[in-house]
């Protein structure tokens, strides 16, 4: 079974806001949510630490996420940046207790990667899962001093925006500039050599951010606009620019990002024909533009506010990402190509760009 690096998982959000104990099997978490109606994905989660170990997902990027919403913003979120900051600190505390429990180990330096993977390969059942800390949406950064604190706590990547208008950039389903505050953030990120995650940036903010920022860039979970024509996905010119910058682009398994015309809460995985193999069209497109298999990875986003109701029909838990091995082989990908996509592209990027 091949090592798999997942470049985007909202682990702490699930633990703290969905109240999921990821030390338990997925089936147990689902059973505990039976009858709950507060969220559409209740009883349909796909991620837990045992499932990650079963799928040989020994390394991931795990997020902090807390949106600040101004009074005219209809999206759910916190009413002040200070509250959003406090929420991320609670999430950070959860990562720390999971480290103390031996479930996770934080990766903050390039030398940490080989040390962790050598231990994982020797004993994946008992080894902690390695995680790189990322911030999805930067609204919770009250000041640049707060960013220094996050960096000291191991933060190594930031996506400046999430959904809607943000403090530092405009995200999915909104339109606008990074502005003065966005440039201040990017300048500070560059000084710290943080990874800029271009995921979720609206087109205008995307181009402005990449033009202004000179540090490392990747896209942890973004698919191709060629196959799903909306601004959440990347158009070819954006993909080509990311490729030129040495970025790696992670493939997301959220149904509406894989298949066009998906309607949340209405379209069903089985009847739509959505399967894991659908993502290979997106993988193929990036590989064709790059001319090789070295700049695409998996950024599943599984349990990122959705569950089995919005996943490929043949995916029960995150362990089923391993099915991509045979699927890619059947589509003509070599063992080297598959290893690149499964783990090596993301790992080499981290080795190059972490302190």
Sole residue written with tokens 């220094």: 148
**pLDDT tens digits for range 281-303:** 999 999 999 999 999 999 999 99
Full set of structural domains in the chain with CATH: 5-353 (3.20.20.140)
Strand 249-251 to 217-218 pairing: unpaired
d(CA 174, CA 171): 6
Cβ neighbours of residue 232 closer than 8 Å, sequence gap 6 or more:
172, 173, 200, 222, 257
Within the chain, strands assigned E span: 5-9, 59-64, 104-106, 129-136, 155-159, 195-197, 217-218, 249-251, 296-298
Extract the tokens encoding 78: 């916190």
Per-residue model confidence (pLDDT) at position 125: 86
Q: Are 272 and 262 in contact (CB under 8 A)?
A: yes
Extract the tokens encoding 285: 């497109």
Q: Give the count of alpha carbons within 13 A of 1, CB side only.
A: 17
Q: Are 220 and 8 in contact (CB under 8 A)?
A: yes
Q: What angle do CA 37, 41, 45 make, to 5 degrees?
A: 125
Q: Are 261 and 274 in contact (CB under 8 A)?
A: no
d(CA 311, CA 240): 28
Phi, psi of 29 (to 5 degrees): -60, -45
Q: Give the count of alpha carbons within 13 A of 291, CB side only.
A: 3
pLDDT in tens, the chain (355 residues): 999 999 999 999 999 999 999 999 999 999 999 999 999 999 999 999 999 999 999 999 999 999 999 888 889 999 999 999 999 999 999 999 999 999 999 999 999 999 999 999 999 888 999 999 999 999 999 999 999 999 999 999 999 999 999 999 999 999 999 999 999 999 999 999 999 999 999 999 999 999 999 999 999 999 999 999 999 999 999 999 999 999 999 999 999 999 999 999 999 999 999 999 999 999 999 999 999 999 999 999 999 999 999 999 999 999 999 999 999 999 999 999 999 999 999 999 999 999 9
Strand 296-298 to 195-197 pairing: unpaired
pTM above 0.85, yes or no: yes
Extract the tokens encoding 317: 């838990």
DSSP annotation of 194 reads P
């Amino acid at each position: 079974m091949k090592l798999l690096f997942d470049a985007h998982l909202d682990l702490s959000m699930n633990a703290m806001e969905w109240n999921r104990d990821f030390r338990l099997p997925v089936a147990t978490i689902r059973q505990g949510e039976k009858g709950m109606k507060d969220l559409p994905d209740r009883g349909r989660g796909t991620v837990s630490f045992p499932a990650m170990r079963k799928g040989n997902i020994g390394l991931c990027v795990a997020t902090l996420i807390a949106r600040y919403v101004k009074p005219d913003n209809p999206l759910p979120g916190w009413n002040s940046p200070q509250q959003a900051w406090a929420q991320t600190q609670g999430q950070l505390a959860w990562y720390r207790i999971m480290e103390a429990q031996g479930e996770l180990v934080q990766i903050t330096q390039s030398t940490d990667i080989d040390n962790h993977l050598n231990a994982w390969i020797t004993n994946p059942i008992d080894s902690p899962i390695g995680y790189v800390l990322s911030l999805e949406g930067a609204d919770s950064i009250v000041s640049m001093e707060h960013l220094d604190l996050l960096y000291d706590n191991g933060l190594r990547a930031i996506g400046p925006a999430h959904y809607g208008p943000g403090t530092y950039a405009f995200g999915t389903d909104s339109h606008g500039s990074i502005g003065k505050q966005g440039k201040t953030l990017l300048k500070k990120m560059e000084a710290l050599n943080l990874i800029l995650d271009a995921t979720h940036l609206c087109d205008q903010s995307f181009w402005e951010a990449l033009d202004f920022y000179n540090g490392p860039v990747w896209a942890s979970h973004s698919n191709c606009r060629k196959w799903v024509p909306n601004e959440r996905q990347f158009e070819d010119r954006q993909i080509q620019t990311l490729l030129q910058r040495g970025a790696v682009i992670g493939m997301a398994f959220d149904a509406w990002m894989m298949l066009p015309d998906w309607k949340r809460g209405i379209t069903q995985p089985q009847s739509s024909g959505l399967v894991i193999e659908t993502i290979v069209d997106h993988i193929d497109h990036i590989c064709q533009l790059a001319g090789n298999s070295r700049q695409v990875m998996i950024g599943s986003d599984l349990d990122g506010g959705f569950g089995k109701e919005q996943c490929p029909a043949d995916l029960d838990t995150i362990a089923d990402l391993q099915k991509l091995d045979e699927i890619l082989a059947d589509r003509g990908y070599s063992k080297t190509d598959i290893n690149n996509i499964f783990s090596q592209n993301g790992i080499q990027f981290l080795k190059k760009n972490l302190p």
